[in-house]
Structure 1
Amino acid sequence: YLRLLERVFAHVGITPNPAKHAAFDIYQTKAQGRDLPKVILTDDQQHLYMEHLPEVAPYDLTVDDGPEWKRRRDRAILAMLLGAGLKVSELVGLNTDRVGARDSTGSIPVEITPWSVNGTSRNHQTQLRPFAVADVMAWVEERNAKKIPGKLLFPANLDGKKLDKSTIYLLTKATYKKAGIEVKRKGPRTLRNSFAVRELESPDGSIELTGELLGLRKRKSTEKYLITNKLLNKKRLIT
């Protein structure tokens, strides 16, 4: 019934959709304290995060700037995590041919396939949102110009070696620190959670769509974000 109501409200254009958060009490009761609210970044913290990505010089094909290319790669990685909500395993296994062209909304489709993450995710397509597109696409163009071997979008070196997951965790923690963002969990998962809640809050957002973007198999996995979203809205009202 909740799913039906959500679709009805979406069809008639009622915003915010009252059915989106109707399951909050149900899932909070079922959890019985076992499922703690997910850690997410507020809107202001997300802006701070993007403002404190590694500072880089524009890529110049005619100039050999040594290891500076890694900083541009890292900037794109950090933008991708918040902008598309990828898991670390999905990001390190992402191939260049899985990043599409900008659509009418300014977003870019990113396809995730099971084989790229050793079968730990189902085939699905997420969206790299407009605020992160410039940083990611600048790296895509540079990577193509450098003719790095292999297909990995974010290689560890110019030989195309696969990036170690620990590098991603170090990058995110360093960015939180640089931006002065204080949260309980300073890792990529917090960025994925922030993406999920942001999608649920968007005018066209829904549990089904958000679940598809995240590659979640069960609806109840997406519904858990409703608890986090409701608590975030309460915090906004207080502040």
Structure 2
Amino acid sequence: MHTLTSWDADPVQAFKKFVASAAFADTGRRTRADGTPRLLSPASAKIYIFMFNNVAGWFPEQGLKFSTVTQADLLRFIERRVKGKRVLNSKIAYRYLRLLERCYEHLEVTPNPAQQAILGIDRAHMTQDEAGRALSPDQLERFFAALPGEAPGKQGSRPFGGWKRRRDRAMQLVIALAGLRVSEAIGLLIAEVGRQAALDGSIVLTITPDEKHDTSHEHAVTLPRLGAEALRAWLEERETMAIPGEFVFPANLTGARMTRKTVYMQMRATFERAGMDLARSGGRTLRNTFAKQQLEQGTPADELKDVLGLALERSAADYQLVRVKPDPEPDPPD
């Protein structure tokens, strides 16, 4: 009971000690080959601490303590809405409950309120709700065929005319063929592009958190020949234009950072030219497609986690749920 009291007094500090311990690994029931518990990486611990802080901040707002939380309270937490929209999607909500289940299991709280809440939610609906969209090989080829711009050196009468279209072409190829988040592509730095091409024409991108979203983790990914050729050609043109700064894909001639909205609009235009449904089409669809291809080629979830720069192996495994959305049937003739 003394331990539970300490969780009431300072739940965040108590959780930080717990998540760094072998006891937390025991509740995960994941072991190494030799049977010993698999401890969390610092990156994974950071994600769990962030999640727990959200819960711990909500408790006092509701007049609750860690020891007094009930199943109904936790269901209220995961079902919160702002302007009619749920704060947590179904998959993330389950992860919150699973994390709290491990805490109460460690503290030997019976009945376990988080476990009860998990039993009270519809996992089948959750899986269906969170299945993302990916492109089929044919749809991906159509996307590539609809990319903007032309090859460098075909600017016509104006020096560097149409350079933004060639920038967007290279950027969308990199996102599709390296599985980058849009924020990672926007923040891609020249120093992160490998200088030496492999025998097959591929190059390595070393993604760092610098200038990226704070959930990006350092990782390396191979960009195949098609993307590498477009990227190297664009970088040569960028250098000739003497655009300052370190962003690979600058917004303008001053080297400013692109916005997510701009990238989103350009991608939507590509999907539209390809004649594909625009619903849920964008950077996430391309990343889903890349991850699905990796899994189909036999890449284990723990390796895919590193390729995608994810903190958690289970996040990589979730890409097994993505589905190809078929093109709509054409309207029948009159």
Pair in the same fold by TM > 0.5: yes
Return the match for 1:220 from 314, 317, 325. 314
Residues 1:121 and 2:216 aligned together: yes
2:274 is matched with 179
In structure 1, runs of 5+ residues without a counterpart are: 5-28
- The within-5 A match list for 1:37-116 is 37-59=131-153, 64-65=158-159, 67-100=161-194, 101-116=196-211
Specify whether residues 112 and 83 from structure 1 end up closer, same or farther in structure 2 by C-alpha distance, changes over 3 A only.
same
Task: Kindly provide the CA deviation profile for residues 154-199 of structure 1, in whole angstroms up to 9, marking residues without a partner as x.
Answer: 0011110111111110011000110112263111110111111111
Task: Kindly provide the CA deviation profile for residues 70-114 of structure 1, in whole angstroms up to 9, marking residues without a partner as x.
Answer: 111111111111011111111111111101032234322111111
- RCO (CA 8 Å, sep 6+): is it higher in 1 or 2? 1
Report how far residue 62 of structure 1 moved.
11
Specify whether residues 130 and 42 from structure 1 end up closer, same or farther in structure 2 by C-alpha distance, changes over 3 A only.
same
Classify the secondary structure of the residue corresponding to 1:143: helix
Contact 2:301 2:314 in 1 (8 A): no
Return the match for 1:158 from 209, 233, 253. 253
2:291 is matched with 196
Percentage of identical aligned residues: 35
- The within-5 A match list for 1:24-43 is 31-35=123-127, 36-43=130-137
Structure 2: distance between partners of 1:186 and 1:30: 27
Structure 1: distance between partners of 2:279 and 2:155: 41
Contact 2:146 2:270 in 1 (8 A): yes
Q: Runs ≥4 in structure 1, deviation > 4 angstroms?
A: 60-63
Structure 1: distance between partners of 2:215 and 2:289: 21
Contact 1:61 1:145 in 2 (8 A): no
Structure 1: distance between partners of 2:154 and 2:161: 13
Specify whether residues 209 and 80 from structure 1 end up closer, same or farther in structure 2 by C-alpha distance, changes over 3 A only.
same
Q: Over aligned residues, Cα RMSD in angstroms?
A: 2.8
Q: How many residues align?
A: 207
Contact 2:144 2:173 in 1 (8 A): yes
Classify the secondary structure of the residue corresponding to 2:133: coil
Classify the secondary structure of the residue corresponding to 2:204: strand
1:21 is matched with none
1:25 is matched with none
Report how far residue 30 of structure 1 moved.
8.8
